[in-house]
Every structure is written in structure tokens, then in C-alpha cells.
Amino acid sequence: MSAVHPFRSLGAAVIGSGFIGPAHVEALRRLGVPVRGILGSRPERSRQAADALGLERGYESLDALLADPRVQVVHVASPNHLHFSQAKAALEAGKHVLCEKPLAMTPSETAELVRLAAERPAQAAGVCFNIRYYPLNLEAATRLRDGALGRVFAVNGSYVQDWLLYETDYNWRVLAEQAGPLRAVADIGAHWLDLVHAVTGLTVESVCADLATVHPVRLRPKGEVETFSGAAARDTEPVAVSTEDYGAVLLRFAGGACGAFHVSQVTAGRKNRLCYEIAAEKGALAWDSERPNELWQGARESANQLLLKDPSLLSPAVRPFANYPGGHNEGFPDAFKQLFRAFYSAVAEQRPLPASFPGFADGHDEALLCAAILLSARERRWVDLAGIAV
């Protein structure tokens, strides 16, 4: 008799049918998780998305999704301002929740979600910080944790894109009421901050930020625009934008390490590039999402090395997260698959998420960091995380 697949008895539903919701569906299918249906902004959009993705159900409403007894796990992949209410409702309906970043828009919302999740330890509650799950980021984290590089002195890097370069580029993310008062920092900088925390184990203690809005007015197409849809705008209206296109942030970590990163959504030619460089006692490490299958290792007294993603060259604990042989690139969709596998394995085995998994507490930490960065930029001064009120 053949063994039953560990995820076959589970069921998932995805909220959000734009850019990343369908990416969730694809990664779930690769893992053998049955996807029961999808919810869009309106019933007809749910139906269209279900048809396009070959899913059984396009839900009428959030209530219909939460009432589906075949759904144990809810993926929240809607615009940011909906995360709090949708994640809360899903937890209260007894579901496991995997929420896209940011977990919610303010520290008080994220604190409330952390509290609700803590009251329900049998329900898994995670945040989709997928970049942690590139094999070479897991390898970098393992090497630093094992002490191979000694004490970390400094971490620098950036997350840079170009899709909002022109004033005619528009997405709900530019509006503070839909995405939060920080844009580039909260949308992509949060990935950088989370990744650096996951890789180095360091925690930011204080920040000093400078933010700039290149386009204080953008031209908004009439009607809904999904991310990276590439739809040409025919009929537009001007809309005032207060969120930043660019940000630069100095960091101080607990223990004395320092760092700096910048974010931009207006750098031509940089489609989606996150990079970091870590300076430590016995060497340096650098990773670049445009070349995700290479980890640069800097040395003072020998030649620098380039580690290629090859399961046979990775630490034993990291090997299961690289599913193709060396020379066969793994990238963005694979990182989702690995994150989901970690999440669903815990759910299927009815055990807590591993400590290395981004949980709601990590989502709350990001909200606190964003609040500190915003305050620092507004008041043009260093801000300690310890002073941020929830």
C-alpha cells in the first residue's frame, strides 16, 4: 500500500488574485497541497481567478472562504490594509494563517495579531518572508550561527527596483491609506531587514533615516491595477502621494554592530535587486538576488571564493532546501516552495513552527522598525526601537 502524502489531507485557500496570490497557488501545487479556492476583491474576480488557475472555488466572500470546512490554512495575499482584519478573522475561525508581509499596517495591529496567535498555539501563524528560504541565505545563516566567521562588525546593502520610476507608474502601494505611511521601506526594506536579522541573528536597536518622495503627484488609472500587470493607462487622474520612493537608513544593532541600507523603487534597470554584504572578524559574505545561486566569501589572507548553490557543497542542515543539483538555478518561486514546505510540515505534524520560521512576532518586529524609521525621518534624528509605543 502506498504511503499517503503528508499534505494531501490539508486544504489551503488564498486571499488575493493579483501578482503574489497566484504565486502562492503555484508553490502549493508543487508541494502537493490541495488548494480549495481563491478570493478576489469581488465575487466575479474570484470566479475569474479560479477559472484562470483551474481551482474549484472562487469564493463569494471572506465568510464563505472561512466557512469552507476543507480549508485548514488561509494565505493572506491581499493589499496591506486588509491583512489585519483578514488574518484576525481567519485565526478566529480556527484556521492556520500564512500572511504576506507586512503582517499589518501599525505596531498596535501587529501586536494584536501576535496576541491572538499566542492564544491559539495549535494554529500556525507565519509571515511570508520568503527571501530567507533561498538556499544560500540559509547557508550564510548557518555559517554565521556556527561561528565560522566570528563576530559581525557591519552589514550593508540595498533593495532596489524600477517599476515606479515614472509619474505614470501607479499601484495601491503608493497610497498611505492602502499600504501604510511608509512605502519602499515597508514594502521591500522590510524584506532586507528581516533577511539580515535571519542571516546574522542581529537585532536592530536604533535607526537614523532619510526618506524622499520623487513623485509627490502620480497619475492614477481609473479602475483597479494589479501589481506588475503592465496594463497601459488610458484614462488617468492625478493623485497626491506622501509615501517615499527612496529611503536610506543607518542602523545600530544590539551588541555594537552597525550597518546601512537603502531602498528605491525608482532606479532604472534594477528590476528587483536585494543585496547584502556582511563584514565579520574572520571574513565577509555577500549575496545578490540577481545572482541568487552564488554566495561570495571574502578573505583577507587567501583568495576570495564563490560558493555555488549545489546541495553537495551546502551544510547538511541546508541541503533539504536545495532541490535541484548544482548548475540548476533555484530562485523566487522555489523560495516560496521552501517556506511553504516548512510551514505545512509543522501543520501536518501538529508541532510548532521552527524557531527559524518567520512568525507573527517577526511581523511585529518589522512594524516596530518601520515605525521607528518613519519617526526618525520625520524628526531628523536617531530613534531607539525601545522607545516605540505599541
Ligand X SMILES: NC(=O)c1ccc[n+]([C@@H]2O[C@H](COP(=O)([O-])OP(=O)(O)OC[C@H]3O[C@@H](n4cnc5c(N)ncnc54)[C@H](O)[C@@H]3O)[C@@H](O)[C@H]2O)c1
Interacting residue ranges for ligand X, rule: CB under 6 A: 15-21, 39-41, 45, 77-80, 82, 100-101, 128, 130, 172, 187, 226-227
For ligand X, the closer CB: 40 or 259: 40
For ligand X, the closer CB: 80 or 200: 80
Tell me the residue nearest to ligand X as measured from the CB: 18
The residue written with cell numbers 513623485 in the block is 215
For ligand X, the closer CB: 171 or 376: 171
For ligand X, the closer CB: 100 or 169: 100
Q: By C-alpha distance, which of 126, 118, 112, 220 is closest to 164?
A: 220
Residue 23 C-beta: closest distance to ligand X, Å: 7
The residue written with cell numbers 499534505 in the block is 7
Tell me whether residue 118 is exposed, middle or buried, using C-beta atoms within 10 angstroms of its C-beta: 0 to 12, 13 to 18, 19 or more.
exposed
For ligand X, the closer CB: 77 or 257: 77
End-to-end CA gap in the chain:
54
Residue 339 C-beta: closest distance to ligand X, Å: 9
Residue 19 C-beta: closest distance to ligand X, Å: 4
Residue 44 C-beta: closest distance to ligand X, Å: 11
Residue 153 C-beta: closest distance to ligand X, Å: 29
- CA-to-CA separations, 238 to 132, 165, 189, 267, 294, in angstroms, rounded: 38, 16, 27, 22, 43
Task: Put residue 42 in one of left, alpha, beta given phi > 0 → left and psi -120 to 50 → alpha.
Answer: beta
For ligand X, the closer CB: 102 or 283: 102
Residue 170 C-beta: closest distance to ligand X, Å: 11
Structural Rg of the chain based on CA atoms: 21
Q: By C-alpha distance, which of 101, 102, 74 is closest to 88?
A: 74
For ligand X, the closer CB: 7 or 159: 159
Angle at Cα 149 formed by Cα 146 and Cα 154, nearest 5°? 120
Task: State the Cα–Cα distance between residues 254 and 121, nearest whole angstrom.
Answer: 29
Residue 64 C-beta: closest distance to ligand X, Å: 12
Cα dihedral 126, 84, 100, 129 in deg (nearest 10)? -50
